[in-house]
Homo-oligomer: A and B are copies of this chain.
Amino acid sequence: MKIAVLGTGAGARAHIARLAGLGHQVHVGTRDPEATLARTEPDMMGTPPFKEFLAQHPGITLHTFGDAAAASDGLVISGIDGHNAVAALTAIADQLAGKTLVDYAVPYIYQHQSEHPWPTPWGVMPKLDPCDTDSLAEQIQRALPDVKVVKSFVTQEQTTVVDPQSVGGGDHTMFVAGDHTDAKQEATDLLKSYGWSDILDLGPLVCARGMEMYAHMHSAIGFGLGQQFGGHFGIKVVR
């Protein structure tokens, strides 16, 4: 398939590499391809320059967000951060129309530590916006009624999402939510190709609220396990 991945951070790279390895034609979208390729230093998360990643993954094409979405034949994966996602996606509504958009972003608002109400022994937790009475996924769906939005992947580090067997032999649970059954099936098929066997459909997109708010629990579990940021674990729903 021709699949678009919007974003060039560590999470997006996990999907890009895995999709390419599965034989898909991957079209990567970024706000400003020239600027992305011009970077020579690691980003604020310590992720190496995207140019290095591209050199290690031949065959990947870097586009603008819109060109990447246009090149997709149906499936678009978006890790665009919550602060920018609605605006960036609305700007390419025509290229996304009719397609399935899997959004995995946590709508964190990063603030300076001194301004932030959640100081912790390990640093500062970002605030969520929206939270509780709305979700980023629902905001995207409302802004783009012609797109079929699915929330998924968000309850795990993306390195684990693309390689579930790396934790507990893959015996843990992935979740999907959305208002379009066919789109959820596409996301589910993709997850199966990644190696997931336990994929739970939570129901309508309103369930994205719980999935996004789980981010703080995910962080707390990682810290509880002594893994700090980027925890390597899964969550299994035990029936």
> Does A206 lie within 8 Å of B237, measured CB to CB?
no
Q: Report chain B residues within 8 Å CB of A206.
A: 118, 120, 125
A238 within 8 A of B: yes
- Interface: A20 (CB within 8 A): no
Would you list which residues of chain A between 123 and 164 have a CB under 8 Å from chain B? 125, 127-128, 131-134, 155
CB of A186 within 8 Å of the partner chain: no
Could you say which residues of chain B place their CB within 8 Å of the CB of A177?
220
Q: Which of A180-232 contact B (CB under 8 A)?
A: 200-204, 206-207, 209-211, 213-221, 223-225
What DSSP secondary structure best describes chain A's contact surface?
mixed
Task: Report whether A238 and B238 are in contact in the complex, using a CB–CB cutoff of 8 Å.
Answer: no
The interface residues of chain B lying within 8 Å CB-to-CB of A215 are 210
User: Shortest Cβ distance from A83 into chain B, in angstroms?
Assistant: 15
Q: Are B167 and A239 in contact (CB under 8 A)?
A: yes
Q: Are B213 and A237 in contact (CB under 8 A)?
A: no
Please, could you name 11 A-B residue pairs with CB atoms under 8 Å apart, sorted by A?
A125-B209, A172-B238, A175-B224, A200-B224, A200-B225, A203-B220, A213-B213, A213-B214, A213-B217, A225-B237, A235-B237
Task: Please list the 3 inter-chain residue pairs (A to B) with the smallest Cβ-Cβ separation, ordered nearest first.
Answer: A210-B216, A168-B238, A210-B217
Min C-beta distance of A163 to chain B, whole Å: 14
Does A46 touch B at the CB level, under 8 Å?
A: no
Other A-B pairs beyond A125-B209, A155-B217, A202-B223, 19, CB < 8 Å: A121-B203, A128-B132, A132-B216, A167-B239, A168-B238, A172-B238, A175-B221, A177-B220, A200-B225, A201-B224, A202-B224, A203-B224, A207-B224, A210-B218, A210-B220, A210-B221, A214-B217, A225-B239, A234-B237
CB distance from A150 to the nearest CB of B (A): 14
List the interface of chain A (C-beta within 8 A of B). Answer: 117-118, 120-121, 125, 127-128, 131-134, 155, 167-168, 171-172, 175, 177, 200-204, 206-207, 209-211, 213-221, 223-225, 233-239
A133 CB contact (under 8 Å) in B117, B201, B238: B117
Contact of A223 among B203, B216, B233 (CB under 8 A): B203
Distance in Å: Cβ of A178 to nearest Cβ of chain B = 12
Q: Name which residue of chain B comes closest to A120, CB basis.
A: B206
